[in-house]
Amino acid sequence: MSEPFRFTEDEKARMARDGYVLRNDVFTPAETKAMADAVEALERELLALKRNDKVTVGSYMFELQQEMVSMVKWEPHFPDVVQGIEPFAHISPELKKWAHDARLWNPGKDCVGQDDINLFTEKITMKRAHTGGDIILHQDYPYWRGSNKDADRVVTAMIQLDDADVANGCLEVAPGSHTVGMHPRKQTEGFGSNEMDMDQFDLKRLQPMEVKAGSVIFFGSFLVHRSLPNRSDRDRRALLFSYQPAGNPTSAENFKASMKQRQEALAAAAAKQKEPAE
Ligand SMILES: O=C(O)CCC(=O)C(=O)O
């Protein structure tokens, strides 16, 4: 008998054609609330820690949390508001357990293309009411190719913790944008060069994913996506679990091994920002 929750033939065809698949009503309201409560608890824990420098790199504002072995993203326009946390599975067993839920793990096998998979990385997006900013147009692949030899096969399951719509900055995807490898990126040095050049992409291709809390969007690492600011009174939170072929290290393991380099890179970026403009 086949395993529950595996992709149907139709979903496999849509994943190949569009680069993403939406499943509605995957998690119950009680389950989604349990996840959201764990997200809030983790944020409280994080806010209680001593702050390190916040450094703007590309469109992001990062803080390296050595105690947590994690990167905190702050809202660049509201630097006291958390935008996201990556990775988090190693610091929140409560959230990690959802990554292994068969409703994500089993379809994850179909997306990665083999049954032997493991977690690669995981992100929280907070996107708070009124202050949640945009997540710039990008593909995940350029960010991951340096640390994951199978970055082209990594697939993300994005769980919506709140009802998402255009007003609160839902995910926007460009169906079919995953078929041509990497799209043109910004001509800049370093981390910011992972971001896409918006002048070279037809933004009319983007479709807002207006979806209910508890739904899951599965998408591959070449899918072009972004999200716009939250202009509403409602938070738009999400958990993103990314799966890979088994045998590769997780991003938390990579993170731990590269803590010193990350620290140096952020310090160099911070020093550059302090240089007087020419
Ligand atoms: O939550 C979102 O808007 C998308 C998050 C995302 O794509 C990312 O963090 O790379």
* Centre of ligand 1 from the C-alpha of residue 157, in Å: 11
pLDDT band for position 263 (50/70/90)?
A: confident
Ligand 1 atom nearest 236 alpha carbon: 1
Rounded percentage of the chain residues whose pLDDT exceeds 70: 99
Report the pLDDT averaged over residues 93-117: 98
Q: What are the residues whose beta carbons fall under 8 Å from the beta carbon of 129, sequence distance 6 or more? A: 168, 230, 232, 233, 234, 235
Q: Is any atom of ligand 1 closer than 6 Å to the C-beta of 225? A: yes
CA atoms within 13 Å, Cβ hemisphere of 153: 18
Ligand 1 atom nearest 73 alpha carbon: 9
Ligand 1 atom nearest 143 alpha carbon: 10
Q: Is any atom of ligand 1 closer than 6 Å to the C-beta of 125? A: yes
Q: Is any atom of ligand 1 closer than 6 Å to the C-beta of 171? A: yes
Q: Is any atom of ligand 1 closer than 6 Å to the C-beta of 226? A: no
pLDDT band for position 222 (50/70/90)?
A: very high
Q: Is any atom of ligand 1 closer than 6 Å to the C-beta of 109? A: no
CATH fourth-level superfamily of 9-272: q2cbj1_9rhob like domain (2.60.120.620)
pLDDT band for position 276 (50/70/90)?
A: low
User: Do 275 and 88 touch, CB atoms closer than 8 A?
Assistant: no
* Centre of ligand 1 from the C-alpha of residue 135, in Å: 6
For the chain, which residues make up each domain, given as ranges? 9-272
Rounded percentage of the chain residues whose pLDDT exceeds 90: 87
- Encoding tokens for residue 229? 């600011």
pLDDT in the model for residue 277: 57
What are the tens digits of pLDDT across the range 13-33?
999 999 999 999 999 999 999
pLDDT band for position 273 (50/70/90)?
A: confident
Residue nearest (by alpha carbon) to ligand 1 atom 8:
135
What are the tens digits of pLDDT across the range 50-63?
999 999 999 999 99
Q: Is the pLDDT of residue 1 over 90?
A: no
What are the tens digits of pLDDT across the range 155-191?
999 999 999 999 999 999 999 999 999 999 999 988 8
* Centre of ligand 1 from the C-alpha of residue 72, in Å: 14
Sign of CA dihedral 126, 221, 65, 59: negative
pLDDT band for position 133 (50/70/90)?
A: very high
pLDDT band for position 124 (50/70/90)?
A: very high
